[in-house]
């Protein structure tokens, strides 16, 4: 039996690159199918399937913005907004270790500094290091 693990559970929902790229677009304010297709480079069939699943699992809502003909756009649910942290850490890791040259996008945090995201402990506020955590409870590990 594979481990019980929320990483595996999360990846059942978003463990496919077109899903996360579609979510990225909605975070960046792009809400319509044609634009999401263009900005991600996904094929229309794959994108339609991924968006359908993201709505089914409750990360996006499909909201009408025109009646004749009926047209829809995608907006984030609360669970969808929660993915922000994942996309930020993925972008930061990609900037550091995958992209060659300068980061393709540079962001300013609302404190006025260039955004450099880090994962910290909500209690002590220090960065969480690989060897700075230990398992204290598990269904099966």
- Chain CA centroid to CA 98, Å: 18
Please identify, using beta-carbon distances, which residue of 2 and 64 lies nearer to its own copies: 2
- Decide if 63 contacts 75 (C-beta within 8 A): yes
In angstroms, the CA 53 to CA 30 distance is 18
> Least CB distance from residue 69 to its own copies, whole Å?
27
> Least CB distance from residue 77 to its own copies, whole Å?
9
φ, ψ for residue 32, nearest 5 deg:
-115, 145
Please identify, using beta-carbon distances, which residue of 69 and 106 lies nearer to its own copies: 106
> Least CB distance from residue 44 to its own copies, whole Å?
14
In angstroms, the CA 124 to CA 141 distance is 27
> Least CB distance from residue 129 to its own copies, whole Å?
8
Please identify, using beta-carbon distances, which residue of 2 and 69 lies nearer to its own copies: 2
> Least CB distance from residue 39 to its own copies, whole Å?
5
Please identify, using beta-carbon distances, which residue of 66 and 94 lies nearer to its own copies: 94
In angstroms, the CA 92 to CA 114 distance is 12
Please identify, using beta-carbon distances, which residue of 63 and 85 lies nearer to its own copies: 85
63 closest CA partner among 42, 32, 22: 32
In angstroms, the CA 111 to CA 124 distance is 21
């Amino acid at each position: 039996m594979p481990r019980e693990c929320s990483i595996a559970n999360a990846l059942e929902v978003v463990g496919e690159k077109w899903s996360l790229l579609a979510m990225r677009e909605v975070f960046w304010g792009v809400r319509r199918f044609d634009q999401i297709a263009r900005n991600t480079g996904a094929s229309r069939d794959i994108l339609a399937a991924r968006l359908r699943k993201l709505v089914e699992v409750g990360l996006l809502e499909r909201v009408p913005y025109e009646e004749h003909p009926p047209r829809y756009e995608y907006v984030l649910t609360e669970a969808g907004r929660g993915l922000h942290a994942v996309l930020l850490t993925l972008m930061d890791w990609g900037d550091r270790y995958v992209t060659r040259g300068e980061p393709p996008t540079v962001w300013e945090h609302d404190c006025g500094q260039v955004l450099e995201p880090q994962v910290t402990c909500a209690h002590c506020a220090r960065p969480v290091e690989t060897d700075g955590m230990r398992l204290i409870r598990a269904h099966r590990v």
